[in-house]
Amino acid sequence: MIYKATGWAAVLLAIVALYPSMQPGAYSVIGFYLCLFSLIIAAFASHMDRPIYFRGAIGISLVNILLVNDGTRASLLLGQSDWVYIGSMYGIFLVVVSICGFLVSRDLLISTLENHR
């Protein structure tokens, strides 16, 4: 039960992170890190239950970072933006997604193998 509540809280946090991401300045950075935090929470909730929480959080986070976030949206790459900043933020996002995705997929594989014994 605790993993379901934690998983849905992570998805809700990813949704809540959309609002500060739309604001200019430091609020968009706060929204970015809230997305990362929601991914970590969703990964820990999903590795004990179902991966639906992680999939939901990663979907919302991708929309947030690529389309909504004032500092990292993909349309900024076409203009005269700070490519180093955007690239570093995308790099941080990819590292967190890779680690969390590995955690979720590894535990799902182990639980599947244990159920088929």
Cβ–Cβ < 8 Å for 13, 34: yes
- What is the domain range of residue 43? 2-115
Rounded CA-CA distance 96/87 in Å is: 14
Compute the chain's Rg from CA coordinates. 15
pLDDT digits (tens, 9 = 90+) for 80-93: 778 888 889 999 99
pLDDT digits (tens, 9 = 90+) for 19-48: 999 998 899 999 999 999 999 999 998 877
Q: What does pTM read for this prediction?
A: 0.85
Higher pLDDT, residue 66 or 77 = 66
Domain count, the chain: 1
For residue 61, what pLDDT is reported?
94
For residue 117, what pLDDT is reported?
65
